Amino acid sequence: QREWIEHAKVFDATWADLEKRQLSKIRDWSKENLTTRKATTYYFFSGPDFLYADAFFPSADTYIMAGLEPPGPVPDLGKFSHAELPGALRELRGSLNSVLSYSFFRTKSMRVDFSHGRLTGTLPVLMTFLARSGKTIYDVSLFDLQADGTLHPEDEKIANATAKAAKIIFSDNTGKKRTLYYFSTDLSNGGIEASGFMKFCD
């Protein structure tokens, strides 16, 4: 309990600063300047940066995000012992340091932060950003992408998967369910041709 209280205290202060310094200003700018709203927001080379996708395009029904970093397993804080939990929460805050301080994720830092520690992959960050943005998460599922653009549940263990994907169903205070897709895939000219990612986007 004490660990959660300390985590919340630090996180609340950091978040209040980010909201005042950047996010509120982006939402105001977006409302005034991005008046033509689209149902789908595409954000390539995003890493797990849902914060800014939501601030710029708050009314999208579907977000399609992509980066090199893997989604990792669905996080479960309940599996940590009382002694392990403080470290896991510190690691989560550490993996968010660059975006909370500089407004963007640093690729080199991500390779370390998201592959080591107790909470690995981009899913813990995506889920944290959704929750801190006032969203309710209903479901998180993992998929493999094939070259033809189709998604298959990860537990099917299909052959020749070209990328990993996470699908998150969530809503905001309106209750309307929306979808976030995060793909771990190579977006270079050579990689994107063979991955099936653009076929999925089509």
Residue 88 has pLDDT above 50, yes or no: yes
Give the residue-averaged pLDDT of 16-21.
87
Greater pLDDT, 140 or 92 = 140
| pTM, to two decimals | 0.84
DSSP states of 146-190: -TTS-EEEGGG--TT--EEEEEEEEE-TT--EEEEEEEE---SHH
190: Cβ–Cβ under 8 A, 6 or more apart, which residues?
A: none
Q: Residue-wise over 40-66: b if at least 16 C-beta within 10 A, else e?
A: ebebeebbbbbbbbbbbbbebeebbbb
Quote the pLDDT of residue 107: 46
Number of C-beta neighbours around residue 67 at 10 A: 24
Using 50, 70 and 90 to split pLDDT, how confident is the model at 162? Answer: very high
Neighbours of 196 (CB within 10 A): 22
Residue 109: pLDDT band (50, 70, 90) is: very low
